[in-house]
Chain A
Amino acid sequence: QKEVEQNSGPLSVPEGAIASLNCTYSDRGSQSFFWYRQYSGKSPELIMFIYSNGDKEDGRFTAQLNKASQYVSLLIRDSQPSDSATYLCAALNDYKLSFGAGTTVTVRA
């Protein structure tokens, strides 16, 4: 079992809609969680990180963490065509940073 699992894509949403991305992790010792965006042919770039239960908002992005359910999510509000990319979830456990396989999001104009 992979340490980090993401909902399979691809995910297609209309412009202006909310894109919802989900991630689960297997190791309860994981302390911090990260969401990255990766454009084709580019390196991943950090969007948000979260380490406390609850919601964390940054602009159009909201990360949600539920440690009891071992679940992390990312909401993208008012989706734009520039949000079309692969989104990677990662979990940090005692310096070991593990990634999920990613979910590809396409925002339709």
Chain B
Amino acid sequence: NAGVTQTPKFQVLKTGQSMTLQCAQDMNHNSMYWYRQDPGMGLRLIYYSASEGTTDKGEVPNGYNVSRLNKREFSLRLESAAPSQTSVYFCASISLYSNQPQHFGDGTRLSIL
């Protein structure tokens, strides 16, 4: 099925550990996004990639890095996890010229102890 696939779905880390959240889309969309969602705060943009080879900071980039590996894949890395990064992370892809202009992944629930 076409869509956005995020892995893992759940993860528990200890403070200071590192990890990479993976995201892949098979809709041939150019733009991809990483958001975090905390209670009552909607979706806050961490980083985005307008097209393969480009990345830009969003509202809350501190403590994160990203890689747009190719057109399909956009990963998010936490180099040294902190409890403040406990959140639900969503990846999304977009193409305004598509009949299905936007898709979100199912999310990654990340807890940092």
A residues within 8 Å of B by Cβ?
6, 32, 34, 42-46, 49, 88, 90, 92, 94-102
Contacts of B61 in A (CB 8 A): none
A97-B33 contact given A46-B101, A46-B102, A102-B42, CB 8 Å threshold: yes
Q: Tell me whether chain B's interface is mostly helix, strand or loop, or mixed.
A: strand
Contacts of B33 in A (CB 8 A): 97
A103: nearest residue on chain B (CB-CB)? B42
Q: Say yes or no for B74: interface residue by CB 8 A criterion.
A: no
B residues within 8 Å of A by Cβ?
31, 33, 35, 40-45, 48, 50, 56, 58-59, 90, 92, 94, 96, 101-107
A96-B58 contact given A88-B43, A101-B40, A102-B42, CB 8 Å threshold: yes
A-B interface contact total, Cβ < 8 Å: 52
10 contacts between A and B (CB under 8 A): A32-B96, A43-B90, A49-B96, A90-B43, A96-B45, A97-B94, A99-B35, A99-B43, A99-B44, A100-B42
The CA-CA distance from A75 to B60 in the complex, in Å, is: 31
A11 to chain B, nearest CB (A): 15
Q: Tell me whether chain A's interface is mostly helix, strand or loop, or mixed.
A: strand
The CA-CA distance from A44 to B101 in the complex, in Å, is: 13
The CA-CA distance from A46 to B43 in the complex, in Å, is: 14
Q: Is the CB of A98 within 8 A of B105?
A: no
Q: Is the CB of B90 within 8 A of A49?
A: no
Q: Is the CB of A88 within 8 A of B42?
A: yes
